[in-house]
Amino acid sequence: MQNSLDPVTRFCTSLAPQLMQNDVNDEQNVRVLDIVGSGGQLETEDPSSQYGEASQLERTEQMEDHLNNCMVSSQSEKEDNKVETPMQFNCKPAVLNLQRGLRRRCLDFEMAGARRKSLDNVSNSSSNMLSQSDEKITTNDKQLVPMKPGGESSRCILPGIGLHLNALAKTSKDYKIIKCESLAYGRQLSLPNSTADIHSPTGGQGPANEEFNQNSPKKKRRRFEHAGETESCKRCNCKKSKCLKLYCECFAAGVYCIEPCSCQECFNKPIHEDTVLATRKQIESRNPLAFAPKVIRSSDSVPELGEESSKTPASARHKRGCNCKKSSCLKKYCECYQGGVGCSISCRCEGCKNAYGRKDGSFIGTEAELDEEEAEACEKSVAEKHQQKIEIQKNEEQRLDSALPTTPLRLSRQMVSLPFSSKNKPPRSSVFSIGGSSSGLYTSQKLGKPNILQPESKFERHSQIVPEDEMPEILQGDGSPSTGVKTASPNSKRVCPPNSDFGPSPGRRTGRKLILQSIPSFPSLTPQH
DNA sequence: GAGTTTGAAACT
DNA sequence: CAGTTTCAAACTC
């Protein structure tokens, strides 16, 4: 695997510096913006990043310059759209699917939200600048490669409730990373995981363009699917929702629809930012967690935090639980199954045979019992199927873990542990402040100015400083320990869901720690004063 | 590729 | 809050 990625990595590493050094041409500026705006992360496939911290700082400054230049000179949103390269579209990041959703979301919505906030809050001068750049970024964002959660459709987990990820973006590294992801796109693993997918905004084609440009939505869609050899490239195919409802995978994932989408009358585009934001808000007002990843990892690890955390088993679960009646939770109709997690007590499914973990964790005199053998067989086949994926992902994760020390995204992922079930509505205040939604962005922006370049140690430090008790209630533990442990339940033959990227381990404690850590990861590009 | 099934989301 | 409708993905043929 790694070998196959090497070329990509090489390309990325060689390209990033170039782009950063050439600001002269608009197109390049745009590119840089795109990348930056895409919520790029600090993570790199190659842990031994190309630049030292010092050089990173320099580069970051350069990036900021780029942003400033763009704000002043780049006016062509339309052109921006054209910037996208085939590579960007066709390639899927082999590795970072999980985080893409977050990234995009931050850029598209959170940033936008931030911008708004800043507008509202005129008093904050620094925010103004940010807002401007944000806007640009948002616009450019559309060009990013569309990525779908690998998992979901193979979605890979999307961990986070879209928080602050935006903050990460503006570093040279980001650029590199994004590029890498794009290149690797096709390799994306199809892991059932997160919901948040990662799609990247499309280039700014207006809805009209989108429809007309696509020779055949279906064809296009298939093409992308094929490209990834998985469903990872899949995009939405909405016809009536205008991509402004949660029916739309893109919208639900917090990303704009992009060219590969086969949607009709799509409003989920940067050009309709206001509409999107308004709709989003409305939906969030109804359900604060609407845009939170559906699959939540109750425990994850942040590599940098400690070894133990990295060994944590990934116990994930669906935030709200499924309600399957006929699929026995053995098909992708089941969100739990689709997300690669076992069903939990919060599920209301009937005849659960979820291969990742059954609702009751054991066959207790229910239909399941009768079909035990059948279920077993199913599990076996399913498990085998996923086993490969899991292994692949594991490898990837391991690689990342070592390579990517705490990336904000990763951190944010950890935050995903949402404790409450759908029936128990989380305190809104908590939810909003924490993340998950566009509002999260505001928060992050405000918090922010954490410097992305800050050494990991800083994150650690910060996390340590924050007492667990301060953690918002909703984030504290998963409210239901049982659910959190669910995947590890006696019956669940698979203790580690496919998504679990980290080894087995007791999770609760680590999960909480992770959450704390994520707080610091809202670094923003704004200069610290 | 068209049609069916399924369950989440939205609506009443 | 329960029941119904709408919707788009997943699935089947």
Give the CA-to-C1' distance from A337 to C4 in angstroms. 26
| Residues β-bridged to residue A318 | A295
Tell me the average pLDDT of chain A.
Answer: 49
CA–CA distance, A514 with A419 (Å, rounded to integer): 14
Within A169-230, where are the H helices?
172-184, 207-213, 217-228
Percentage of chain A with pLDDT > 70? 20
For position A233, what pLDDT does the model report?
Answer: 53
For position A339, what pLDDT does the model report?
Answer: 85
pLDDT at A37 over 50: no
- Cβ distance A402 to A47 under 8 Å? yes
Average pLDDT estimate for A77-94: 38
Phi and psi at A272, nearest 5°, equal -110, 30
Give the CA-to-C1' distance from A89 to B5 in angstroms. 32
Evaluate if the CB of A234 falls below 7 Å from strand C. Answer: yes
Under the banding of pLDDT at 50, 70 and 90, the label for residue A16 is very low
Tens digits of residue pLDDT in A210-246: 333 444 444 444 434 443 333 445 688 999 999 999 9
CA–CA distance, A525 with A449 (Å, rounded to integer): 7
Under the banding of pLDDT at 50, 70 and 90, the label for residue A290 is confident
Which chain A residues 421-480 have CB under 7 A to strand C?
none
**Which range has highest mean pLDDT (A129-143, A351-365, A438-452, A482-496)?**
A351-365
Question: Which of A438, A476, A477 shows the shortest CA–CA distance to A165?
Answer: A438
Structure tokens at A157: 């987990």
Give the CA-to-C1' distance from A118 to C2 in angstroms. 42
Residues whose CB falls within 7 A of nucleic chain B? A 218-219, 222, 245-247, 252, 283, 286-287, 290, 294, 320, 322-328, 331, 333-335
Give the CA-to-C1' distance from A323 to C2 in angstroms. 15
Give the CA-to-C1' distance from A320 to B7 in angstroms. 13
Rounded (5°) CA angle A361-A365-A368: 60
**Which range has highest mean pLDDT (A159-168, A217-226, A348-357)?**
A348-357
